[in-house]
Structure 1
Amino acid sequence: MTKGPVRLDVSVSYAAPRTGVPAATSFRKWVAAALRGRIREADLAIRIVGAKEGRALNRHYRGKDYATNVLSFPAELPEGVKMPLLGDLVICAPVVAREAKEQHKLAVAHYAHLTVHGVLHLLGWDHDDDKEAEAMEQLERDILAELGLPDPYAEE
């Protein structure tokens, strides 16, 4: 665990209508919460996209022909290069809005959860097996609770 403040450079771009999508300051706050105590400095980009771009990216990078809620692209730096570049997140606004409605969640809470989830992926966390999934989900719950947000995995 690292102590002290985190130096962040979080770029947020909107390639989809902004209606119902949180402001860049919210995304920065959620990223900072996910990184607190885990990393000292980080540069990352978050791109908010529509369904068409989300689907194209998911098809190209994951071989899945549908738009998904969040995609994480960890930075792959050449060996020996020391930079705080963490990677990129792509969040698909229409998918987030649909899922929030279906799951009876506030959209802002769902955006926060997916941002934290994506940042943890950038840090190397995964959910490929039950043990990893359980650990990652608990960490997400803890981070969101620190932000005053509900458990994203609680039953409706």
Structure 2
Amino acid sequence: MDEPGSSSPLGGFEIIITDRRWRAHVPDAVRRITRALSVAGCAASVALTDDRTVKQLNFRDRGKNKPTNVLTYEQPPEILLAFGVVEKEARRERKSIANHLTHLIVHGALHLQGYDHHHPGEAREMEAEETRILARLSVPNPWKNR
């Protein structure tokens, strides 16, 4: 971990930033996360971390030996994001890291509320809800130009 971690209380939950690149690229990350969780109607802790940490957890908990953009845990409710994966995706999709972070927080929040995307119908429903919430956050529709 790059820094001991900084946190901000969120109604009993925390926002923990362990990789300093998050602060360098998204200086208003705490505000964005707090607002996204509020609009999504979700209470959860959030960890902005690195690929190595997410890769270890993804292998331990899902049997996948690679980092992923976001991991969501139900008990206790927690959303973890890997900086390197998020940065690469944002660059590839030509969007800001800040907007991609907001999208993934909303995505994780919806998972915590029972949404999923394993089947086409579920994916369409989840994407529509993400788009609705992101519009309230002034974040462009991430599904528009795919």
| Cα deviations by residue, 1:114-153 (Å, 9 ceiling, x for unpaired) | 0000000011111111000000000000000111110011
Structure 2 unaligned spans of 5+: 1-9
Deviation at 1:93, TM superposition (A): 1.1
Cα distance in structure 2, aligned partners of 1:154 and 1:63: 32
Partner Cα distance (1:147, 1:26) in 2: 9
Counterpart check, 1:135 vs 2:125? yes
- Could you say which residue in structure 2 is the equivalent of 1:13? 16
Correspondences of 1:6-85 after superposition (within 5 Å): 8-17=11-20, 18-21=23-26, 22-35=28-41, 42=43, 44-75=44-75
- Matched AA of 1:129: H
RMSD: 1.6
Q: What is the Cα deviation at residue 112 of structure 1?
A: 0.5
TM-score, normalised by the number of residues in structure 2: 0.85
Q: Which stretch shifts more, 12-21 or 130-139?
A: 12-21
Q: Which runs of 5+ in 1 are unaligned?
A: 1-6, 76-84
Runs (4 or more) in structure 1 with deviation over 6 Å come to none
Between Structure 1 and Structure 2, the one with more helix by share is: 2
Larger gyration radius, structure 1 or structure 2: 1
1:23, 1:130 → 2: CA distance?
Answer: 31
Ranked by relative contact order (alpha carbons within 8 Å, sequence separation 6 or more), the top structure is: 1
CA deviations on 1:56-111 (whole Å, 9 max, x unpaired) are: 01111111111100000012xxxxxxxxx6x0011111111111001101111100
In structure 1, C-alpha distance between the alignment counterparts of 2:122 and 2:115, rounded to whole Å? 8
The alpha-carbon deviation at position 54 of structure 1 amounts to: 1.1
Number of aligned residue pairs? 134
| Equivalence for 2:85 | 95
Residue 29 of structure 2 contacts residue 98 of structure 2 at CA under 8 Å; is this kept in 1?
A: no
TM-score of the superposition, structure 1-length normalised? 0.80
Contact 1:72 1:121 in 2 (8 A): yes
